[in-house]
Amino acid sequence: METFLAFVIGGLYAAGLYMMMRRSIVKLIIGLSLLAHAANLLIFTLGRLTRGEPALIPPGGIRPERPIADPLPQALILTAIVIGFGVQAFAVVLIKRAYQTVGTDDLDDMKSTDTG
Amino acid sequence: MTSLILSTAARYMLPLLLLFSVFLLLRGHNEPGGGFVGGLVAAAAFSLYAIAYDVATARRVLGIDPRFLIGLGLLVALGSGVVSLAQGLPFMTGLWSEYAWPILGKVGTPLLFDIGVYLVVIGVTLTIIFALAEA
Amino acid sequence: MNLILVLPLIVPLATAILTVLAGRWRWAQRWLSALGAAALLAAALALLEFVRREGIQVAYIGNWPAPYGITLAADLFSAIMLVLAGLMGLAVAVYSLASMDPARERFGYYPLLHILLMGVCGAFLTGDIFNLYVWFEVMLVSSFVLVALGGERAQLEGAIKYVTLNLMSSALFLAAVGSLYGVAGTLNMADLAVQLHQVAQPGLVTTLSILFLVAFGIKSAIFPLFFWLPASYHTPPVAVSAIFAGLLTKVGVYALIRVFTLLFVQDVAFTHTLILILAGLTMVTGVLGAVAQNSFRRILSFHIVSQIGYMIMGLGLFTPLALAGSVFYIAHHIIVKTNLFLISGVTQRLGGSDYLKKLGGFYAAYPGLGVLFLIPALSLAGIPPLSGFWAKLTLIVAGLDTGQYAIVAVALGVSLLTLFSMTKIWGEVFWKPAPARAALPASQVGLAGMILPIAVLALLTLSIGLLAEPLLALSTAAAEQLLNPAAYIQTVLGGR
């Protein structure tokens, strides 16, 4: 399972970077969200893939009865997904406004701030 | 493009979805659910209205500026953290009422925080969706 | 003492909430914003004084003990940075009262400014590496909106570059945090400092440290990763540029210093030498980039890059004196750079342009403004007895002590080129006679409100220069805490 996920993560990173190198701003945003997914999956895989119960101790006990799954990577991914949701929603609004104002979705035509 | 089926359905779906979102919010403390998903479902309900009619109608149904909801939600969330400070405990320590309410059980500051999240998520999502739809 | 650690987060959040709820009344928003910024400065000063007297402070959010819950920890370095954040917040909040246009104010400029400040303060206070990521995102999301707020063409083009590069850095940072958890099994920075010494494969830790170097390097705009900064920082309104220029990249520098003094000290010979080389290249490329520019704020933007080099030079040298120099440099730079941006706003208001060619004659027309410009400009170049001189002197002495003559030579050369850049601005904007066509009737409305923070910051630069001793002593104490993390670790993990 780890090997499979490693390839998936690598594929996601490759696809994300490829999309970001395209000139269209829409593809740029798609690339960015792919990168975020790759990072989330990376955390998931590195947090050890184990099958286990929720990390809860029954009332009166002092330690879990069966092997538990580490809840922390899941909490991290959940937080990262929520943040990514907000950021990407903003990015979509931004590229729409930029498209309307500049009149193109080609990054090569958006150089006015570099050449001054 | 107004569709009769969609606009009629949206009118019935709105209260149902809102009810479902509150259900998700309250369920979230011990089971899957919570303020974030609940907020998304509620925002989806108003977005559906905006698609079926238009943004102005959806805004009128919502009644207040979604940005105001963000502020309100943050206020509630901040309040849930400050309660424990007033009792001399560290910031955001969870506190629960002694009395068990019907259905809800013991109400505590985590629920308050979740309500704050619920309001912020509705506010943020609708601000963005309305901005996209109006431009 | 829990409250005093949490106040720098609660105050800006409460201010943001109140300014949102006061959305309809513009005057209420403006006064709440200024008052909130003043309260933040007061809270930060109180914390600094408390940390100076009582040592490192820790708060456990939600009463969960370290390393399981999120901890807030303030050592001297954090407290100094918080005071600087509060100071810049107040300066920019006052400046905004006079310079921000009503359309941006209506759209939520003030709440965003305070959320930004909360993100910055959170990043300085947190003792948990994932929490640092979250505060970075809080800061970034509000800065994204601030940079695009207003929707002018240049702003949107700059915003796309700014957003893309920063999101990329966030994705890298997130991957690095996840990998670190996979290696060490904890996210609390004090606990990580202990655990990372026991990792079976030290090579893995060094690799991770480079991942962090790249992620924070993008955010702090060091050598090969700085292109987003001069492409975007000059596009938003001056008040926004100023707070970005003063604070945002410095959060990246703070994160670099924090992780490379607390966590990644296993292979100093490799990592810190790499940082030193990057510092030299950052200084040179930044200053050479500035020479080629012909607009006031673009020159200043490139100088931010160049100055970042000095800050991480101290980290690369990795001696107590060098780190003290870094801390001193950051304090000096934040004040001076914010001030220069604020001045560029005044010349833009009066001269109607940001391009050097179209400006001129300011010394004849406004000699006071000329003096106010000269103080931070000469300080930036490192002319004694201003604050920049002491900052550079400390770093150069530290470089000579460790025998790193190459970086000392680079630092001195870059100083000269900085002076050249500043005299270029002086010559074009202040000295040269006003261009014939620039007879625009300048709007004088609210100018006093713009000059006030500039004058206060200039006075501060001057007094740091003339009375360098207290700040230098404070920086030295902060550097000693950074280099001996045992006390930090003990305070966070030890008893409650």
Residue C198 is given by DSSP the state: G
Give the Cα separation of C319 and C480 in Å (integer).
9
Spell out the SS3 assignment of C219-263: HHCCHHHCCHHHHHCCCCCHHHHHHHHHHHHHHHHHHHHHHHHHC
Pick the residue of A9, A113, A115 with the most C CBs within 10 A to test the interface with C by mutation.
A113
* Cα angle value C197/C198/C199 (rounded, 5°): 100
C83-121: pLDDT as tens digits: 999 999 999 999 998 888 888 888 889 999 999 999 999
Tell me the HSE value of C197 on the side-chain side, using a 13 A CA sphere: 7
Q: Which of A2-11, A64-73, C338-347 has the lowest mean pLDDT?
A: A64-73
SS3 B96: strand
Highest-confidence segment of C357-371, C389-403, C430-444: C389-403
The pLDDT value given to residue C52: 92
Strand partners, C201: none
Q: Is-contact C320 C259, C-beta < 8 A?
A: no
Residues with Cβ within 8 Å of residue A57, at least 6 apart in sequence: A63, A64
pLDDT surpasses 60 at A40: yes
Q: What distances in angstroms separate CA C93 from CA C147, C189, C342, C453, one per listed residue?
A: 16, 33, 12, 9
Shortest distance, CA A96 to any CA of chain B (angstroms): 8
pLDDT surpasses 50 at C496: no
Q: In the structure encoding, which two tokens stand for residue C222, read together?
A: 């060091």
Closest Cβ–Cβ partner in A40, A46, A101 for C156: A101
Strand partners, B96: B108
SS3 C440: coil
pLDDT surpasses 80 at C27: yes
Strand partners, C58: C73
Question: Are A79 and C134 a contacting pair at CB < 8 A?
Answer: yes
| Average predicted confidence (pLDDT) for chain C | 90
Where does residue B63 fall: left (phi above 0), alpha (psi -120 to 50 degrees), or beta otherwise? left
User: Which residues in chain B have Cβ-Cβ distances shorter than 8 Å to C23?
Assistant: 65, 67-68, 71
The pLDDT value given to residue A115: 64
Low-confidence ranges of chain B (pLDDT < 50): none
Q: What distances in angstroms separate CA B98 from CA B76, C134, C254, C482, one per listed residue?
A: 21, 34, 44, 46
Q: What distances in angstroms separate CA C385 from CA A30, A93, C340, C381, one per listed residue?
A: 52, 49, 18, 11
pLDDT surpasses 90 at C400: yes
| Average predicted confidence (pLDDT) for chain A | 87
Give the Cα separation of A21 and A43 in Å (integer).
25
Q: In the structure encoding, which two tokens stand for residue C161, read together?
A: 């570059």
Spell out the domains of chain A, with CATH numbers in brackets: 2-50+72-105 (1.10.287)
The pLDDT value given to residue C440: 56
C57-68: pLDDT as tens digits: 888 888 888 788
φ, ψ (nearest 5 deg) of residue B32: -55, 140
Question: Are A93 and B125 a contacting pair at CB < 8 A?
Answer: no
Quickly state the pLDDT bin for C220 (edges 50, 70, 90). very high
Closest by Cα among C207, C219, C247 to C117:
C247
More confident of the two residues A58 and A73: A73
Cα C100 from chain centroid? 22
Q: Which of residues 41-70 of B touch C (CB under 8 A)?
A: 65, 67-68, 70
φ, ψ (nearest 5 deg) of residue C295: -125, 145
pLDDT surpasses 90 at A74: no
C111 contact B CB<8A:
yes
A67 contact B CB<8A:
no
Closest by Cα among A115, A105, A22, A28 to C230:
A115
Beta-carbon contacts below 8 Å between B and C? 49
Tell me the residues of A at the C interface, defined by beta carbons under 8 Å apart.
20, 25, 28, 32, 35-36, 38-40, 42-43, 46-48, 72-73, 76, 79-80, 83, 86-87, 90-91, 94-95, 97-98, 101-102, 107, 110-114, 116
- Which chains border A (3 or more CB–CB pairs < 8 Å)? B, C
Q: In the structure encoding, which two tokens stand for residue B12, read together?
A: 């019935």
Q: Is C376 buried (19+), middle (13-18) or exposed (0-12) by CB count in 10 A?
A: buried
Give the Cα separation of C70 and C78 in Å (integer).
16
Residues with Cβ within 8 Å of residue C211, at least 6 apart in sequence: C172, C175, C176, C179
Give the Cα separation of C40 and C94 in Å (integer).
14
Residues with Cβ within 8 Å of residue C371, at least 6 apart in sequence: none
Q: In the structure encoding, which two tokens stand for residue C111, read together?
A: 């709440």
Q: In chain C, pLDDT over 90 holds for what percent of residues? A: 62
Q: Is-contact C48 C470, C-beta < 8 A?
A: no
The pLDDT value given to residue C7: 92
DSSP result, C378-418: HHHHT-TTSHHHHHHHHHHHHHHHTT-HHHHHHHHHHHHHH
Question: Are C182 and A47 a contacting pair at CB < 8 A?
Answer: yes
Q: Is-contact C354 C237, C-beta < 8 A?
A: no
| Paired sense of beta strands B96-101 and B105-108, if any | antiparallel
User: Which residues in chain B have Cβ-Cβ distances shorter than 8 Å to A90?
Assistant: 128
Quickly state the pLDDT bin for C268 (edges 50, 70, 90). confident
Closest by Cα among B18, B28, B33 to B105:
B28
Q: Is-contact C23 C47, C-beta < 8 A?
A: no
Residue linked to tokens 């160049």: C306
C269-291: pLDDT as tens digits: 899 999 999 999 999 999 999 98
Residues with Cβ within 8 Å of residue C104, at least 6 apart in sequence: C149, C150, C237
B95 contact C CB<8A:
no
Q: In chain C, pLDDT over 70 holds for what percent of residues? A: 97
Q: Is-contact C304 C293, C-beta < 8 A?
A: no
Tell me the residues of B at the A interface, defined by beta carbons under 8 Å apart.
36, 124-125, 128, 131-132, 135
Q: Which of A82-96, B82-96, C216-230, C362-376 has the lowest mean pLDDT?
A: B82-96
Give the Cα separation of A26 and C89 in Å (integer).
35
Question: Are C181 and A80 a contacting pair at CB < 8 A?
Answer: no
Closest Cβ–Cβ partner in A82, A93, A100 for B131: A93
Residues with Cβ within 8 Å of residue C36, at least 6 apart in sequence: C11, C12, C14, C15, C16, C18, C19, C93, C114
The pLDDT value given to residue A53: 77
| Torsion from C-alpha of C196, C198, C199, C205, nearest 10 degrees | 30
User: Which residues in chain B have Cβ-Cβ distances shorter than 8 Å to A101?
Assistant: none
Residue C187 is given by DSSP the state: -
Q: In the structure encoding, which two tokens stand for residue A107, read together?
A: 């990054």
Give the Cα separation of C455 and C326 in Å (integer).
25
Closest Cβ–Cβ partner in C16, C60, C62 for B94: C62
Q: What is the mean pLDDT of residues C430-434?
A: 83
* Preceding peptide of C67 cis, ω within 30°: yes
Residue linked to tokens 């910024």: C37
Closest Cβ–Cβ partner in C151, C168, C231 for A97: C151
